[in-house]
Structure 1
Amino acid sequence: MNYPDFLDINDTVGYVAPSFGCAIEPYRTAFMRAREVFSKKRLSEELGPNCFADDGIGISTTPEKCAREFMDMYASETNQALISCGGGELMCEILPYMDFEVIYRAKPKWFMGYSDNTNLTFLLTTALDIATIYGPCISSFGMDPWHRSIRDAFDLLTGADTVVSKGEDGVITVTMHNYDGWEKESAKDEEHPFAPYQISELFIPAIYGGREAEGRLIGGCLDVLNNIAGTRFDRVKAFNSRYADDGVLWYLESCDLNVMDMRRALWHLRECGWFENA
């Protein structure tokens, strides 16, 4: 697995919109504040050309332009990490226009995003063996105050000792944890673009079999993963084989699927061989 370098002071963060951009409120205003926050933390920025685009269907602009922006920004030597502007609906349509060889030849850098961004956070890891971060998009860093999960995501990007440690043998260990609760209904809107998470639901763990587990952590949005499975972009069986000795841990969340959709999706992934070595 190729692990990118952590961000350092005076490094540059690139902002890209392979899914939705930050063209509408409250995301635009939250994005502007997040940029100010990062600047105060002594990080520079490189804006992709689609960050404020809104002429696309289900994504910021045309699939061709979205793919080109991501490839150019990933290959750019100006920035050292990429953060997505937002989630969306049809990021899958950029995949046929992606030249993954461009990404493979470039120096590995962190790409962070969630939901629709699974299309790339997942494929960069399973197809190209590049570690990615399934985490908040840039407008979330505009909230005030930061939720602990936002702080952890930033600390992970920067290799802070709150989540990252290095042993005497040189092995880097990242320690993350779950949180006490989660947000069911967001208070973020045009009048409250900086609203923090409204934690209203308790996290209730369910451990079946009472066993501890370890392995390579992969996953993302189930809606997207189900869409990728069985296509020419599917490299999961090779990934599972490559890390058979380590085992695989899956994390899954869903956006639009109902309960039966989820069950069908899990059946599909299982029959595609995705859960071998899990």
Structure 2
Amino acid sequence: MIRYPIFEKDATIGVTAPSSGVQSQLHGIVNEAINRLQEQGFNVICGETVWTQKKAKSAPAKVRAAELNQMMADENIDLIIPPWGGELLIEILEYLDFDHIQNKWILGYSDTSLLMLAITLKTGIATAHGTNLADLRGEYSDETTTMWKSVLSTKKNESIVQHSSDKYQKEWQHDTPSPCVFHLTEETNWKTVDGNKVQIQGRLLGGCVDVIRHLVGTPYGDVRTFSEKFIEGEPIIWYLENCELSTTDLRRSLVQMKLAGWFENCSGIMFGRSPANMPVDNYTVEDVYQDLAEELKISIIYDIDCGHVPPQITLVNGAFAEVEVESGKGRILQTFC
């Protein structure tokens, strides 16, 4: 059985940096986000790793792991949100105390998705792929991003619906900050490989392909044991997003996942919008999706609200999902069962 953490209105949020910390000139971003959360009634406890960054990491692996272990063990902390992702979170996995992880939420994306997928696969504790701390600093949030609180507040055996966004952000405009953080200018259009309506059901698993692919073949990426132990062989819906990979590197990564058995008993795959997906020798990302759909004989949905092109739907690893896509619009019902 999947274990779902409890999240209340007056929750205490722990902020730690298991991957990248925040450089001194950007500390204001963190302070703004903390202030916004406090205005909403949350308590915030900030770790030391948040404020440092050197050589592509917030601190040495053992230091990052120790702070995360401490926050995971602290019964006063209900939710952990890193400031953002990064590059080298994988270094801390061998130092994490998976046997004593408390049942609490972790929320984030990018490099954080590697941590969350590893925790769900090893422990059966649900984790939440969605916004990071830095993106909560605005005076207000868009309707899609704001749903993170409602999703995490969902109780066991209850359900929550999220819909595709109206518009998404094409590119970051740091020189022209807005009260909403994001500049949502482009029409959202969820797509399917065959262009037809798609309906799929299954348990959600996923994250950023760039990093979660490195769990393949390790003790932290045992999808088969997770399936047998925690979801009794129910079908899996994978949600995946590409941060920096070319189409051929994405293809190699997906084939590796397939050969490792990650897509066994898979009912469908959803791909997030991507700032990457650069074609190689006219091999496009649509070709990648087509090849995968034909090989696995499953539905492929793409350009969903997930990943490095905001806004993002909050997707819960381990939750049972019913997904429907038609005419460019998407609906995801998640049940915490």
TM-score (norm 2): 0.73
Q: Which residue of 2 aligns with 1:216?
A: 203
- Whether 2:241 is the aligned partner of 1:253: answer yes
SS of the residue 1:50 aligns to = helix
Alpha-carbon distance in structure 1 between the residues aligned to 2:89 and 2:250: 20
SS of the residue 1:199 aligns to = coil
- Whether 2:205 is the aligned partner of 1:204: answer no
Count of residues in correspondence between the two structures: 262
Q: Which residue of 2 aligns with 1:139?
A: 134
| 1:209-250 Cα deviation digits (max 9, x unpaired) | 644111111100001121111123222111233435531111
Q: Which residue of 2 aligns with 1:12?
A: 12
Which structure ranks higher in relative contact order (CA pairs < 8 Å, sequence separation ≥ 6)? Answer: 2
Alpha-carbon distance in structure 2 between the residues aligned to 1:277 and 1:101: 28
SS of the residue 2:199 aligns to = coil
- 1:178 Cα offset (Å): 2.0
Structure 2: unaligned runs, 5 residues or longer: 267-337
Q: Greater CA deviation, 205-214 or 37-46?
A: 205-214
SS of the residue 2:211 aligns to = helix
Contact 2:209 2:242 in 1 (8 A): yes
SS of the residue 1:45 aligns to = strand
| 1:42-100 Cα deviation digits (max 9, x unpaired) | 11111112110113x32211111111111100101221111111110111111122221
- Whether 2:158 is the aligned partner of 1:172: answer yes
Q: CA RMSD of the aligned region, Å? A: 2.0
Contact 2:36 2:139 in 1 (8 A): no
Larger strand share, 1 or 2? 2
Alpha-carbon distance in structure 1 between the residues aligned to 2:250 and 2:24: 30
TM-score (norm 1): 0.87
Matches within 5 A, 1:16-55: 16-26=16-26, 28-55=27-54
Matches within 5 A, 1:29-178: 29-55=28-54, 57-103=55-101, 106=102, 108-157=103-152, 159=153, 164=154, 171-178=157-164
Alpha-carbon distance in structure 2 between the residues aligned to 1:270 and 1:76: 38
SS of the residue 1:85 aligns to = coil
Structure 1: unaligned runs, 5 residues or longer: none
- Could you tell me which amino acid in structure 2 is paired with residue 71 of structure 1? N
Q: Which residue of 1 aligns with 2:220?
A: 233
Q: Name which of 160, 163, 185 aligns with 2:171.
A: 185
Alpha-carbon distance in structure 2 between the residues aligned to 1:25 and 1:151: 27
